[in-house]
Amino acid sequence: MRLALAQYPIERPASIAAWRDKLDAWIARTGDAELLVLPEYACVELGVALCGREGDAAGEIAAVREAGPEIVATLRDCAMRHGCWLLGGSLPVRRGNATVNAAPLIAPDGRIAWQDKHRPTRFDAGPWSLSAGAPPGVFDTPWGRIGIAICYDVEFAPLVRVQVEAGAWLILVPTCTDTVAGFNRVRLAARARAIENQCLIAIAPTVGSAPWSAGLDTNRGYAAVFGPCDRGFPEDGVLARGAMDAAQWVHAALDPAVVTRVRDDGDVRNHADWPSAVPAAQPHGFA
C-alpha cells in the first residue's frame, strides 16, 4: 500500500467549489499514492463561508452538516477523478435526531463506507452538540482489512482492539487537536495501540492558525505511521513522520505481511498475549 497522510492546512475557502479546487490541487501532489487520508474536520474550514459569520462554533458545524451531501459528493468526485482511495476526513452527519462526527472512506469507483466517532470529546459534545456514534467497524480493501479510529477514539484501547480482533492490520486516525498536549495524547495513544496490538497506526492532523474560525482556530500536530518496537521495525516504532505544524503530505509504503511476521515471530507477542479478561483489582495488605 502506498499511503499518503495529509498535514492539512486550515484555510478560508469561499465556497464548496473553491474547496474542491483546493482538494484537487492537494491530491494532485500525492503522486502514485493509493490511499489518501485527510484529517478530522478538514471540511469544517468551510464553516464560516457557509454560515456567513465568524465566531459562531455552533453555526459553523450546523452549516457544514446541512451542506454535508454536497461536501461528500465533492469528496467522492475527487476520489473518482484521481483514481484513489480517500478517507475524506470527517464531518457532522445526522443519525436520526442526533448529529455525529463521521468519516467517509471512499473507493475509486465511488462506493462509500462510514465510520462514526464513537466517543465525542468535551468540545464535540459541548459547543458542537455532537453525540456518540456507532461502535468501531472494519473495512475490506485491496490491501486487507483496515479500521478507522477518529481522534479521541484512539485513546481508548478497547475501541481499537475490537477492530484488530476483527482482522484490521492498519488503523487510520484522522485527528484535529488545538494544543501540543492534545496532539501528544493522540500521538502517544496511537503508539501504544501499535505496540499492544502489533499493528500499524497512521495519524493525519489539521495544521495552522485560523482565527476567523471558532472551531478550528488553532491546529497542531504532524502526520506519522507507528508500528511495534520489534523485529522488522525501527527501534522506536516510527515508520514515517512529518514536520511539526507544516502543511505537507507524509508518504509511507506499507505491507500487511510485516504485521503477520511480527505477530508470529516478534521478540514479544502482545497481540496473542492480550488478556481475554482482567479481574478487578483488589487492595493488598502490608505485613
Write b or e for each residue in 39-70: b if 16 or more Cβ atoms lie within 10 A of its Cβ, otherwise e: bbbbbbbbbbbbbeeeebbebbbbbbbebbee
pLDDT tens digit sequence for 230-248 = 999 999 999 999 999 999 9
Q: Once rounded to an integer, what is the mean pLDDT over residues 124-130? A: 93
pTM over 0.95: yes
Q: Please state whether beta strands 91-95 and 112-116 pair in parallel, antiparallel, or not at all (unpaired).
A: unpaired
CA torsion, ordered 77, 78, 79, 82, to nearest 10 deg: 120
SS (H, E, C) the chain: CEEEEEEEECCCCCCHHHHHHHHHHHHHCCCCCCEEEECCCHHHHHHHHHHCCCCCHHHHHHHHHHCHHHHHHHHHHHHHHHCCEEEECCEEEEECCEEEEEEEEECCCCCEEEEECCCCCHHHHCCCCCCCCCCCCEEEECCEEEEECCHHHHHCHHHHHHHHHCCCCEEEEEECCCCHHHHHHHHHHHHHHHHHHCCEEEEEEEEEECCCCCCCCEECCCCEEECCCCCCCCCCCEEEECCCCCCEEEEEECCHHHHHHHHHHCCCCHHHHCCCCCCCCCCCCCC
Query: Which residues, other chains included, contact 125 with Cβ-Cβ below 8 Å and sequence gap of 6+?
Result: 131
Give pLDDT, residue 190.
98
Does the pLDDT at position 226 exceed 90? yes
199 near 169, Cβ under 8 Å?
yes
Give pLDDT, residue 209.
97
pLDDT tens digit sequence for 63-101 = 999 999 999 999 999 999 999 999 999 999 999 999 999
Residue found under cell 492546512: 9
pLDDT tens digit sequence for 241-284 = 999 999 999 999 999 999 999 999 999 999 999 998 888 999 99
Rounded CA separation 151/184 (Å): 11
Give pLDDT, residue 287.
87
C-alpha cell at 69: 451531501
| Residue 156 binned pLDDT confidence (cut-offs 50, 70, 90) | very high
In eight-state DSSP terms, residue 137 is -
Share of the chain above pLDDT 70, in %: 100
Residue found under cell 490511499: 35
Give pLDDT, residue 110.
98
Rounded CA separation 126/207 (Å): 22
Give pLDDT, residue 273.
95
pLDDT tens digit sequence for 186-204 = 999 999 999 999 999 999 9
In eight-state DSSP terms, residue 224 is E
Give pLDDT, residue 188.
98
pLDDT tens digit sequence for 166-186 = 999 999 999 999 999 999 999
Rounded CA separation 84/107 (Å): 7
| Average of per-residue pLDDT values in the chain | 97
Give pLDDT, residue 55.
87
50 near 19, Cβ under 8 Å?
no
Measured over the CA atoms of residue 97, residue 99, residue 100 and residue 103, the dihedral's sign is positive
Share of the chain above pLDDT 90, in %: 97
Q: Once rounded to an integer, what is the mean pLDDT over residues 213-238? A: 97
